[in-house]
Amino acid sequence: MTPNLSPKQRETILRAATSAPSKYNTQPWWFRWDGDDLEVHIDPARSLRHGDPAGREAHIACGAAAFAARLGYASFDTGTAVERLPDHADPLFVARVQVVADAPDPRLAALYPFLPRRRTDRGPFHETAIPTAIVDELCAAAREEEARLRVVDWEPAYEALLTMVREATGLEEDELRDERARWIDDPSAAARHEGVPAPTLGPRPEEDTGAVRDLAVGRDIADRGTAAFEARPLIALLETRSDTRYDWLAAGQALQRLLLAATRYGVAASFANQPLENPDLRAEAGRLTIPPEDTHFAAAQMILRLGLSTADVPPSPPPACTWSCATTPSSSTSPSPPRLVRPLTPASAQRSASPSPSSPRAGRTPR
């Protein structure tokens, strides 16, 4: 198909895609145009050896980016579909956002304005409960993307899940914390426009409810105060049917859809995924919350805390991308499509032994 997108539209799509959430704001993706379709690839140089050894959460982030890209297309009335894992020979090529002839679902364009407003809110939430109708909408958003959002509000599952989060924090190995420290309140990460800056960490909870993840646990962060958090946080699990790479991507699409729906209704979210980083506790988290008759959606992918914000959260650093290569048109005569990659900054080039941006397939190793 002859490419039709203007440079401005390509930029819109890429800005949308790169606004997606990612663990520690590692932004573990790169993108390439194939005509007007957008390919989403995992960037192995951004993998977390200790925090995400199987690449599950990188897939979730890429799924979220693919969903966000669809909103960019929808904002100028272009319909899309997402093909997950389109090339079995290239496991790091995880999604293709494909232009389709059908008009986009108007619900996607309606979510587009909320992309820049969505952020992870690690602060205290109001004690006021989120209206049930809104929680139902968030569950519906997850279902649309083949996942399930399940509020865990019954005992003994609620207490057991929070206990598990606390336990998982205690079990964190030094390697994992050292790896995380390179992304959290780290000036070199901030210089690269990535990572989690101190102002977005939120205050430390005065009491450990288990629902609030302190990404800087064990570290002193200057000027970081403490605060009382909500007494009974609303906790929900995002689950998928099984636990394949395909499901991880679906979880990411669902995550982004429900977070944007939440943003639209003024609902904030943070995450307490510690137990899901530990294979034993992850299996336990799945078993814990499944009523015996319910064998669907058995794989826990994210643990969310949802609520009504008490304060504005500053945005995380925007990605350090330039968009110039996005304007290169594809042509049917060119041997390979034009490539759009994250330009390596000097710091990330030093850190990364990744293949050169101009030959992104070279040297890629399957996980």
Nearer to ligand FMN among residue 99 and residue 288 (C-beta): 288
Nearer to ligand FMN among residue 169 and residue 327 (C-beta): 169
Nearer to ligand FMN among residue 10 and residue 119 (C-beta): 119
**How far is the C-alpha of 278 from the C-alpha of 200, rounded, in Å?**
25
In the complex, the smallest distance separating the C-beta of residue 88 from ligand FMN, rounded to whole angstroms, is: 24
The Cα-based distances of 216 to 48, 203, 211 in angstroms read: 17, 11, 15
**How far is the C-alpha of 16 from the C-alpha of 112, rounded, in Å?**
8
In the complex, the smallest distance separating the C-beta of residue 363 from ligand FMN, rounded to whole angstroms, is: 25
In the complex, the smallest distance separating the C-beta of residue 77 from ligand FMN, rounded to whole angstroms, is: 26
Residues that bind ligand FMN (CB under 6 A): 21-25, 57, 60-61, 64, 119-120, 122, 196, 213, 215, 270-273, 316
Nearer to ligand FMN among residue 215 and residue 340 (C-beta): 215
In the complex, the smallest distance separating the C-beta of residue 67 from ligand FMN, rounded to whole angstroms, is: 12
**How far is the C-alpha of 250 from the C-alpha of 16, rounded, in Å?**
18
Concatenating the DSSP letter of every residue in 302-330 gives EEEEEEEBSS--PPPPPP----GGGGPPP
In the complex, the smallest distance separating the C-beta of residue 181 from ligand FMN, rounded to whole angstroms, is: 14
Nearer to ligand FMN among residue 5 and residue 254 (C-beta): 254
In the complex, the smallest distance separating the C-beta of residue 272 from ligand FMN, rounded to whole angstroms, is: 6
The DSSP symbol for 61 reads H
Alpha carbon 9 to its chain centroid, in Å, reads: 23
Nearer to ligand FMN among residue 13 and residue 176 (C-beta): 176
Nearer to ligand FMN among residue 21 and residue 35 (C-beta): 21
Nearer to ligand FMN among residue 61 and residue 161 (C-beta): 61
On whether the CB atoms of residues 42 and 29 are closer than 8 A, the answer is yes
**How far is the C-alpha of 125 from the C-alpha of 136, rounded, in Å?**
19
Q: What is the CA radius of gyration of the chain?
A: 20
Ramachandran class of 155: left when φ > 0, alpha when ψ lies in -120 to 50, beta otherwise: beta
Return the half-sphere exposure (C-beta side, CA atoms, 13 A cut-off) of residue 103.
Answer: 5
On whether the CB atoms of residues 234 and 152 are closer than 8 A, the answer is no
**CB-based closest residue to ligand FMN:** 21
The Cα-based distances of 366 to 61, 86, 93, 363 in angstroms read: 18, 15, 10, 10
Q: In the beta sheet, which residues pair with residue 33?
A: 38
In the complex, the smallest distance separating the C-beta of residue 154 from ligand FMN, rounded to whole angstroms, is: 23
Pairing type for strands 29-34 and 234-240 reads: unpaired
Ramachandran class of 349: left when φ > 0, alpha when ψ lies in -120 to 50, beta otherwise: alpha
In the complex, the smallest distance separating the C-beta of residue 36 from ligand FMN, rounded to whole angstroms, is: 26
Nearer to ligand FMN among residue 21 and residue 286 (C-beta): 21
In the complex, the smallest distance separating the C-beta of residue 329 from ligand FMN, rounded to whole angstroms, is: 31
Nearer to ligand FMN among residue 68 and residue 99 (C-beta): 68
In the complex, the smallest distance separating the C-beta of residue 162 from ligand FMN, rounded to whole angstroms, is: 14
Residues whose CB is less than 8 angstroms from the CB of residue 64 and which lie 6 or more positions away in sequence, other chains included? 20, 21, 22, 252, 253, 255, 256
Question: What are the tokens at 292?
Answer: 């015996």
Give the 3-state secondary structure of residue 240. strand
